[in-house]
Amino acid sequence: MGMQTDEKQPMNERVTTGGGDGWTVADGAPCTPPIGDAPPEGPGRFLNRELSWLSFNMRVLEESANPAHPLLERLRFLSISGNNLDEFFMVRVAGLVGQVREGISTVSQDGLTPAAQLEKVHAFADRLMRQQDERWAALKAELAEENIHIVTADDLTEADGKWLDTLFLGAILPAVTPVAIDPAHPFPFIPNRGFVIAARLRGKRDRHVMTALLPVPQQLERFIRLPERGRRRRIRSRSSPTAASSSPPGCAASATGT
């Protein structure tokens, strides 16, 4: 009985062919096909990591339009897609920007330079953010049908303003520290993804005008539920403060923003 033995070929001496004209890899040379019709082993068979991640986040966003989910769950999917995109730009896009700034032009496995990846990422992200805005508008309309209304400063009544002033002085002001901005001090540190209210303040006694920042801790609720009017449930976002509700004691705010 004869025994057949297969002699293994060293990896750096293997020969691989592909494409119409054929291409060869030998002696550890890079597996880069010629320009033209890419063979199955070429860069065309890879998906770009950044674009693949954006596609995943697009699928998360699509769940916010899935009628099989309850309304508030669809709203949660929209929020998740927004948070994901924030983190993506802070980490992945920041890395690409750094590579472009340093003049790095190394081609990735999918055949794209950092600059080319950045261009495609911005185009994809623009489309994603437009769809996020469209979904938010649609979900707000559905929330209104369920008597849940997201109100702005223009929608507040005088009674709402007094109620918010009381809430601000009793529950929010003790948790925030106004920071004045002036030429004698460096600009205050604003944490990443931090929520800050900027206000132009005027002293009630000396009428001195100053600009101040009010960093809002993340532990505070993102939305505030206002007293109901009948069966209508109204929610006030802290992202649109009124001048009165942003004023520390002894000052009057003439303008606010976030």
pLDDT along the chain (258 residues), means of 10: 41 34 34 47 82 95 95 96 95 95 92 94 96 96 90 82 84 80 81 80 69 81 76 55 51 58
pTM, two decimals, is 0.69
Q: What is the pLDDT of residues 164-207, one digit of tens each?
A: 888 888 887 788 887 888 787 788 888 887 888 887 777 666 66
Q: How far apart are CA 101 and CA 236, in angstroms?
A: 42
CATH number of 45-145: 1.20.58.310
- CB of 220 closer than 8 Å to CB of 175: yes
Any idea where the domains of the chain sit in the sequence?
A: 45-145, 148-257
CATH number of 148-257: 3.30.1840.10
Q: How far apart are CA 178 and CA 215, in angstroms?
A: 7
